[in-house]
Chain A
């Protein structure tokens, strides 16, 4: 797995911190290796968005990592994923009371994957996208859900939105996925082809090949990804925050992982 998060150039200008959060956690289940992948994009207008995006990701890991590692592990169902979203909203409400703020001050999107040797569970609230492939061969990437956006370019659904549970997308693929990428909205115009409504194949072919080639030196690959996200080429096209996680072959012995945050 490989991931990077980068603060957007407009946020640097506004002297704000990066509100995107992303990462991955690998764990060993009785059925073999498995992984939790996640990214979250805290809303720029929400005062505690940075806290909110990290809180939701931490809750996701805390909620699913332990059961997955237990002896009695069974694949996580769509119902359990929906229950977790209810749970994290309740936790955020409680947190809002502690911090004396409103639920919407934590506004964040969330994209998560639970990957095991048997199944792949995908969760999406709001924009950003999950790109996946069941095949080893290149050029077979698909988008799980096209980014959920309202009429206007800066509107979407958040974990904290009233209609979050209605807009929540959850699917349990009954099979392992070969390659998965998660990214926040700061990258969606660069990594998706809006005309074809498909992932931009060259990017994913290139980086999943690099992930395979570099599987014994993931740290330097993470650094490379990070350099790319903060590069002039990217910042000319988007100055929003961005987070990206890539993962391949989770169930096999040569699973590939790495993480970077801003």
Chain B
């Protein structure tokens, strides 16, 4: 009886773009672990009914730059199987992600949908093979004006000096190929945000902790 008494409004959305390096150097174990991690990421979030409605995922791959998944709720998203090929056009991929986030926000606004601050989450095992300075500027400007949060994770072999020039947050080095743990962390961090109410600024658990997936360092 009471169900009909309530308004039906769209759920607030929690957008996240995964910016994934699928260049040739990722072939073999890295890309297959990445694919496994992605699948478990989707499964974990699908098990949380509210998060599955609120979290919207997009995937941009680079090597070459491609929107492998345009924004879709976890309920509706079909996770692609990624294949490694080409070089690492990270700069263009970042610009693409920033544009996609802004475009998504416009769609939310047009439809009267509330949203949380978007995440852009990049994983790479190399360094940009294209021009990346303007992408770095966009990231800095977006962070400063709180347009989005940008995270960079480097798999072994990544160019951490460049990642530091791009990301305002300290880039994290993935411990070995622990993509599963990384995505498990990502799903619980996003779920916490998607459940948050007024004034809940959610701080993700530190991935550099003893049971975390990251390691300090990444100097090269």
Interface size on A, residues (CB 8 A): 46
A residues 59-74 in Cβ contact with B at 8 Å = none
In-complex Cβ contact of A194 among B9, B116, B199 (8 A):
B9
- Whole-angstrom distance from the CB of B108 to the nearest CB of chain A? 10
Q: Contact check, B115 vs A153: say whether CB atoms are below 8 A apart.
A: yes
Tell me whether B6 and A237 are in contact (CB under 8 A): yes
B76 at the interface (CB under 8 A from A): no
Tell me the chain A residues, 189-212 only, with Cβ under 8 Å from chain B: 189-195, 200, 202-203, 206-207
List CB contacts (< 8 Å) of B49-86 with chain A: 49-50
B contacts, CB < 8 Å to A: 2-7, 9-12, 49-50, 112, 114-117, 146, 193, 195-202
Q: Does A41 contact B (CB under 8 A)?
A: yes
Give Cα distance in the complex from A203 to B50, angstroms.
23
Considering the chains assembled together, what is the distance between the CA atoms of A109 and B197 in angstroms? 12
B2, B193, B199: the one contacting A231 at CB < 8 Å is B2
The complex places the Cα of A151 from the Cα of B193 at a distance, in Å, of: 15
Interface centre among A126, A156, A186, A195 (most CB of B within 10 A): A195
Please give, as numbers and ranges, the residues of chain A lying within 8 Å of B5 by CB-CB distance. 200, 202-203, 206-207
Q: Residues on A close to B: CB < 8 A?
A: 8, 10, 41-46, 49, 107, 109, 126-128, 149, 151-156, 158, 184-186, 189-195, 200, 202-203, 206-207, 228, 231, 233-234, 236-237, 239-241
**Partner of B197 from A154, A191, A206, A237 at Cβ < 8 Å:** A154
Within the complex, the shortest CB–CB distance from A20 to chain B, in Å, comes to 9
- Cβ-defined contact, B9 with A189, below 8 A: yes
Q: Which residues on the B side are within 8 Å of A239 (C-beta)?
A: 50, 195
Instruction: List 25 A-B pairs, Cβ < 8 Å.
Output: A41-B197, A43-B198, A43-B199, A44-B196, A44-B200, A45-B202, A46-B199, A109-B199, A152-B114, A153-B115, A154-B193, A154-B196, A154-B197, A154-B200, A154-B201, A156-B199, A158-B199, A189-B9, A189-B11, A192-B7, A193-B7, A194-B10, A200-B5, A233-B3, A236-B50
Contact status of A153 and B199, CB under 8 A, knowing A192-B7, A233-B3, A239-B50:
no
A191 to B7, CA, bound (A): 6
Task: Tell me the bound Cα distance from A241 to B112 in angstroms.
Answer: 23
Chain B residues near A207 (CB, 8 Å)? 5
Contacts of A190 in B (CB 8 A): 6-7, 9
Report Cα–Cα, A154/B202, bound state, in Å.
10
Query: Cβ of B112 and Cβ of A10 under 8 Å apart?
Result: no
Are B7 and A185 interface neighbours, CB within 8 A? no
User: Could you tell me the distance between the alpha carbons of A194 and B113 in the complex, rounded to whole angstroms?
Assistant: 9
**Are A45 and B200 in contact, CB atoms less than 8 angstroms apart?**
yes
